[in-house]
Amino acid sequence: MKSKIWIVLITLLVSVINMNINIQANESTYKIKRVPAEWEPQEAIWMQWPGYWEKDYELTFAKITNIISRYEKLHILYASDQIYTEAQKSIRDIGSDPQQKNIYWHKVPNDNAWMRDNGPVYVLNDNELRIQNWNFDAWGGAFGSDIPFNLDNEVPDKVGEILGLPVDQIEIVHERGNLEFNGSDTVMLNWSALGDPNRNLNYNKQQAERDLKTHFGVTKVIFIEGIPDGDLTKGHIDGIARFIGLRTVVVVQCTTHSLCQPGSKDAEIYDNAAKMIKEAGFSVIREPIEGFVKHNGQMFDTNYMNWLVGNGFVIVPGFGNQDTDSQAKSRIESYFPNRDVHLIEMLSSWAAGGGVHCHTNDQPAFSKSK
């Protein structure tokens, strides 16, 4: 009789243990930490309107504003009343309405017009949307030691206050423009930027991989390497390789028509990136550089990789070269067949280091489930 009782008790105990294991397994299944991909539904896009030193970009910003606000909400930060007044005029000058319902203006101190890099990283953590504020030091001082950045470093905190979202401080210097996510298990970036000693002294790949997996919830980190000629960001990924789907990446390619000739140092950077990404298990499409342009005494390859994806649209940086612009538009339409592709000439911005992706910061849509 006693032995039967013991058998029953042991059976019950095993059942309880198995039940707890299953509950814990189910809980861990539903605890998801990830950074949504750019092509997923967005709540809004954010920008910092250019100030005195960046006034050359105002026409570009007005055109970007006009397009984005047709499709989704646009939040614009401005540092002063004068900048606000000038921004309103710039938008009206192209026949658009700066006060239309999709545009939200916020007086927030900031230093530059490149909100991709100093702005928030949005992370879905289980049933919560959180903001990460990675340290920002103006690209490791690459554009000059006199470039201010303290106000930019606080922008994610200000955005968190506006949206009522929690903000996590990440004590690592990095820029959002050097992060490409597939929305699931992978982040892709250029180690030459993150590992720059002017950003993060004595930081190594092993530490970085652990940190990136922890902060973003990814299981795979793809580090490409190399600094394209003249790139003061030290090779942000959004000028080299972009996810266009869960398992598909577009990688730039030098041609005989570009400044970066096949076999050159830059070509080697791009080719090695494509090889590495393919070896990591992704399909790779090469995006050819089919020409170059001259602007204000500088020569630039027509690299169209710095596009912005939004709700139903894509904005692509244009170079004022009718042939390469139209060919690039057709290619990018094939990458995003269900979106309207708009091309904006933005050489004044490109000459300073980037295009539309660099100027914008997308906020993913989020609906808290009950």
Which of 26-35, 42-51, 349-358 holds the top average pLDDT?
A: 42-51
| 29 within a domain of the structure (yes/no) | no
CA end-to-end span of the chain? 49
CB 241, CB 252: distance < 8 Å: yes
Burial label, 60 (beta-carbon count in 10 A; 0-12, 13-18, 19+)? buried
Q: What is the pLDDT of residues 260-282, one digit of tens each?
A: 999 999 999 999 999 999 999 99
Residue 11 lies in a domain: no
| Cα distance between residue 86 and residue 51, in whole Å | 9
Q: What is the pLDDT of residues 284-335, one digit of tens each?
A: 999 999 999 999 999 999 999 999 999 999 999 999 999 999 999 999 999 9
- Domains identified in the chain, total number: 1
Residue 13 lies inside a defined structural domain of this protein: no
pLDDT tens digits, one per residue of 172-223 = 999 999 999 999 999 999 999 999 999 999 999 999 999 999 999 999 999 9
Q: Does some domain include residue 4? A: no
For residue 19, being part of any structural domain is answered with no
CATH of residue 176's domain is 3.75.10.10
Residues whose CB is less than 8 angstroms from the CB of residue 288 and which lie 6 or more positions away in sequence, other chains included: 253, 255, 258
Which residue type sits at 267? A
Stated length of the chain: 370
Where in the sequence is the domain holding 144, given as residue range(s)? 37-364
Residue 369, in any domain of the structure: no
What the block records as the tokens of 353 is: 């280091």
d(CA 99, CA 85) in angstroms, rounded, equals: 12
Three-class SS string for 81-116?
A: HHHHHHHHHHHHHCCCCCCCCCEEEEECCCCCCCHH
Q: Name every residue whose Cβ is closer than 8 Å to that of residue 126 and which is 6 or more positions away in sequence.
A: 30, 31, 32, 33
What local confidence, expressed as pLDDT, does residue 19 receive?
40
Does 316 reside within a domain? yes
Residue 121 lies in a domain: yes
Model pLDDT, residue 32: 85
Helices (H), the chain: 2-30, 58-71, 81-93, 115-118, 150-163, 191-194, 205-216, 265-279, 322-335, 347-351, 356-359
